[in-house]
Amino acid sequence: MDIREYLAGLKGKRVAVIGIGVSNTPLIKMLLREGISVTACDKNKREEFGGLCEELESLGACLQLGERYLEGLDQEVIFRTPGMRPDVPALLEAQARGSVVTSEMEVFFQVCPCHTIGVTGSDGKTTTTSVIAEMLKAAGKTVHLGGNIGRPLLPEIRDVKPEDVAVVELSSFQLISMRRSPNVAVITNLSPNHLDVHKDMDEYVNAKKNVLLHQNAFGRTVLNADNALTAACAADTRGMTYMFSRREKTNGAWCSADGKIYFGDEYIMEESDIRIPGKHNVENYLAAISAVWGDVSKEVIRTVAKEFNGVEHRMEFVRELDGVRWYNDSIATSPSRAMIGTLSLYDFKIVMIAGGADKKVPFDELGKVICDKVKTLVLLAPEKPLEGFKTPAAGKIEAAVRGAENYKDGAPVILHANNMKDAVRLARESAEPGDVVSLCPAATGFDMYKSFAVRGDIYREEVKALK
């Protein structure tokens, strides 16, 4: 089925789209321009959308906003927002009445005419997705990059040609109800994450595994041999499985003890050729190489490694002021991401700004690492968190630090801020020439911000405003 057939099938039907945000607004507009009846539902009130509500209404949309936005869902087709569980009562009741519940990403995989590469994992998926896209573009391919990385692809599906490649970052929320898998499925790693949304770790892992469960014998799966949960997914693969490793030789991309990167027996490049820092980024490259091997030459792989500067909000260099280097790692929304990212890079203690919304994941190991790696810890927690986030992660991070076996009174120094401006000010007052200051939250930003990107943007602005 192509997009024309799919949209033709929606003509004369009533469609609901839940969530008027980054993922679904382009979808709503596309459906309306096709003459399809759309009710756009969102828990936010009209005044929070600026002029967007009026724009959608001018195109023919009905709006259902505020606390009762899920009442009376009886449309034939319902698109859920990626952040909504598929088993919320309103959706289950609609399904029982005969409604089809789907999502923008599920339909994209249903109608996409070209080769697809999907990347998921607890950490590293955005960088891995971006590196794969850069390698393919450098090899002369037309690449459509999207998904959880911020760009919905379904509204642009008419521009996708059979010879193109779609490279898609997939979250557990997008995958939880997925019944189709990409041609190439990549799992970077698995560790506790999003346990504030998923019932337990098993559900989280099973959601991630949907990226590969629906492949056929011609599919390719790329798994991290160094991560036990990820490696165990090999039991469920159906096509060719490539393992990557930073510890041992594998049938995929791997790194030797002396820093040489191979694919199987074939030498590719030196670990030091990778421009973006950190051992975790070596792993991201190993995953990317395994995903594109056979379609991208060694020369192209090396060129991308040497030239690619990385992705916004991922250990992004912001500026140097008075001998202090400032970095933005707002994407570090989990303890594991903080530990394998920013906190793994330096052999001296840094100034770290952390805190955000609690995802109900443990901070014990992070507390130990902070004691070893951080001289001053600035904990960010708003006086009045946004609705639904009454327990900021800052308190749990502090408890984990003070409870760590290697904690010494006053080491690290722990400071508190209730907004980003204050946090940056405290960090500056604590830093000395030669120091590094990094926003490395170890939690989501939803207690204060719409996304990690908004949080990172505000941090960047505050740092650049320093005189």
Q: Please state which of the ranges 10-14, 311-315, 322-326, 452-456 shows the lowest mean pLDDT.
A: 311-315
Spatial strand order of the sheet with 37-42 comes to 62-65, 37-42, 14-18, 77-79, 100-102
Is there a single domain that holds both residue 289 and residue 343?
A: no
Query: Which pLDDT tens digit goes with each residue over 214-263?
Result: 999 999 999 999 999 999 999 999 999 999 999 999 999 999 999 999 99
Is there a single domain that holds both residue 303 and residue 324?
A: no
What per-residue confidence (pLDDT) applies to 195? Answer: 58
Q: Write down which residue in 73, 102, 131 finishes a domain.
A: 102
Is there a single domain that holds both residue 129 and residue 272?
A: yes
Residue 5: pLDDT band (50, 70, 90) is very high
Domain that holds residue 430: 316-464
Is there a single domain that holds both residue 333 and residue 363?
A: yes
Is there a single domain that holds both residue 376 and residue 356?
A: yes
To the nearest whole percent, how much of the chain has pLDDT over 70? 97
CATH number at residue 22: 3.40.50.720
What's the one-letter identity of residue 149?
A: I
pTM of the predicted structure, to 2 decimals: 0.77
Contact 28, 44 (CB under 8 A): no
* Residue 105 pLDDT greater than 80, yes or no: yes
Domain count, the chain: 3
What's the one-letter identity of residue 313?
A: H
CATH number at residue 342: 3.90.190.20
The answer to whether the peptide bond before residue 412 is cis (omega within 30 degrees of 0) is: yes
Is there a single domain that holds both residue 335 and residue 385?
A: yes
What per-residue confidence (pLDDT) applies to 193? Answer: 61
Residue 41: pLDDT band (50, 70, 90) is very high
* Residue 194 pLDDT greater than 80, yes or no: no
How many other CB atoms are found less than 10 A from the CB of residue 364? 13
Q: Please state which of the ranges 55-59, 77-81, 148-152, 316-320 shows the lowest mean pLDDT.
A: 148-152
Contact 230, 224 (CB under 8 A): yes
* Residue 408 pLDDT greater than 80, yes or no: yes
Is there a single domain that holds both residue 198 and residue 292?
A: yes
What per-residue confidence (pLDDT) applies to 123? Answer: 87
What per-residue confidence (pLDDT) applies to 83? Answer: 79
Q: Please state which of the ranges 33-42, 195-204, 421-430 shows the lowest mean pLDDT.
A: 195-204
Contact 348, 342 (CB under 8 A): no
Query: Which pLDDT tens digit goes with each residue over 282-296?
Result: 999 999 999 999 999
Is there a single domain that holds both residue 117 and residue 262?
A: yes
d(CA 9, CA 4): 9
Question: Which one is predicted more confidently, 387 or 266?
Answer: 266
Q: Write down which residue in 255, 272, 307 finishes a domain.
A: 307
What per-residue confidence (pLDDT) applies to 131? Answer: 97
For tokens 């327990």, name the residue: 391
To the nearest whole percent, how much of the chain has pLDDT over 90? 80
Q: Please state which of the ranges 30-34, 36-40, 207-211, 450-454 shows the lowest mean pLDDT.
A: 450-454
Q: Is the dihedral of CA 264, 267, 271, 274 positive or negative?
A: negative
Q: Write down which residue in 83, 102, 121 finishes a domain.
A: 102
How many other CB atoms are found less than 10 A from the CB of residue 391? 14
Is there a single domain that holds both residue 89 and residue 44?
A: yes
d(CA 393, CA 391): 6
What per-residue confidence (pLDDT) applies to 391? Answer: 64
What per-residue confidence (pLDDT) applies to 21? Answer: 82
Is there a single domain that holds both residue 273 and residue 320?
A: no
* Residue 196 pLDDT greater than 80, yes or no: no
What per-residue confidence (pLDDT) applies to 139? Answer: 98
What per-residue confidence (pLDDT) applies to 341? Answer: 84
Query: Which pLDDT tens digit goes with each residue over 122-162?
Result: 988 989 999 999 999 999 999 999 998 868 999 999 999 99
What per-residue confidence (pLDDT) applies to 198? Answer: 63
CATH number at residue 117: 3.40.1190.10
Task: Give the CA dihedral 7, 8, 13, 16, nearest 10 degrees.
Answer: 0
